[in-house]
Amino acid sequence: MPASARRPIIAANWKLHKTVAEAQQFVTDFLRLCPDTDTVEVVLAPPFTALAPLGERLRATALSLAAQDVFWIDEGAYTGEVSAPLLADVGCTYVIVGHSERRQYFGETDEAVGKKVEAVLRAGLRPIVCVGESLAQRQAGQTFAVVAQQVERGLAACTAASAAQVVIAYEPVWAIGTGVTATPAQAQEVHRHIRTLLARRWGEAVAEAVRIQYGGSVKPDNIAALMAEADIDGALVGGASLDAASFAAIVRRGGKGS
Ligand code: PGA
């Protein structure tokens, strides 16, 4: 499968931002600016509170809905948790799993990420599995090893069929919210490394099918150069996704060869 057969996927990770009204307004503004998103799959990841209303709203559009986290058990006495079947029920297609902020502030381990990935796939949803090294790890030359471990443990339970459903987001921690983007070449070498790992474990066809997003200070003025790299199949966008005009500009420039 040629690289171009992978449909680019650009996701807005709103983190802890936007009321329901603000989320609805964003959708109105974004669709006006970007009514046709055929070449790129667009995903919105609002806070939990906006998932159900946006799920209703997005049903008549080409936009997909993602949750920012999930618990790995489907139901039971787990106060405060939200499971994958409940996310499917309100219209989610994707779930972000293992974001570095969850690893850093909430103690999420690779093992927890693996259980969440399994739960998401079991519910018929698709995980966006986040991996990436810290600045200290990069400076110590550990980038490839750190990312390899995160991919292997995060996808530990995957078969070839379920691995093909996964989206991976390579997000170097030092580039998130800092304004410092990895250069296209820095990102590409890690994306290539991830694809090689996927091929070794699940075969060439799976490796060629899996989309690998880059994340970390993606903006309208750097998306095209990132997307020009062979193994960069999209972006996970934080800060620059909060404004509809900025996110629309990223989507418009986020196609392959655009
Ligand atoms: P940023 O965040 O675009 O604000 O750097 C990216 C992310 O955390 O997914």
Q: What is the pLDDT of residues 194-215, one digit of tens each?
A: 999 999 999 999 999 999 999 9
Hey, whose CA ends up nearest to atom 7 of ligand 1?
Answer: 238
> Is the CB of residue 216 below 6 angstroms from any atom belonging to ligand 1?
yes
Compute, in angstroms, the gap from residue 15 CA to the centroid of ligand 1. 9
CA 109 to chain centre: 18
Active site residue 118: no
Q: Cβ(83)–Cβ(119) under 8 Å?
A: yes
Cα–chain center distance at 14: 12
79 compared with 179, residue with greater pLDDT: 79
10 CB within 6 A, ligand 1: no
Q: Which amino acid is at 213?
A: Q
CB atoms within 10 A of CB 134: 17
Annotated catalytic residue 99? yes
Banded model confidence at residue 258, pLDDT cuts 50, 70, 90: low
Q: Is the pLDDT of residue 1 over 80?
A: no
The CB density around residue 158, as the number of other CB atoms within 10 Å, is 22
Mutate to test the pocket of ligand 1, among 130, 131, 218, 242 (most ligand atoms within 8 A of CB): 218
Tens-place pLDDT, residues 122-152: 999 999 999 999 999 999 999 999 999 999 9
Q: What residue segments make up the domains of the chain, in order of their start?
A: 3-253
* CATH number, domain 3-253, options 3.40.50.2300, 3.40.640.10, 3.40.109.10, 3.20.20.70: 3.20.20.70
Average pLDDT estimate for 70-99: 98
Proportion of the chain above pLDDT 90, given as a percent: 92
Please choose from 95, 97, 176 the residue to mutate so as to test ligand 1's pocket, defined by most ligand atoms within 8 A of CB: 176
pLDDT tier at 192, thresholds 50, 70, 90: very high
The answer to whether the CB of 172 is under 6 A from ligand 1 is no
For 81-93, what is the mean pLDDT?
98
Q: Is 238 in the pocket of ligand 1 (CB under 6 A)?
A: yes
pLDDT of 3 > 60? The answer is no
Reply yes or no on whether the pLDDT at 37 is more than 90. no
Mean pLDDT computed over 51-56:
98
- Is 222 close to ligand 1, i.e. is its CB under 6 Å away? no
Average pLDDT, the chain: 96
Q: Per DSSP, what are the bridge partners of residue 213? A: 169
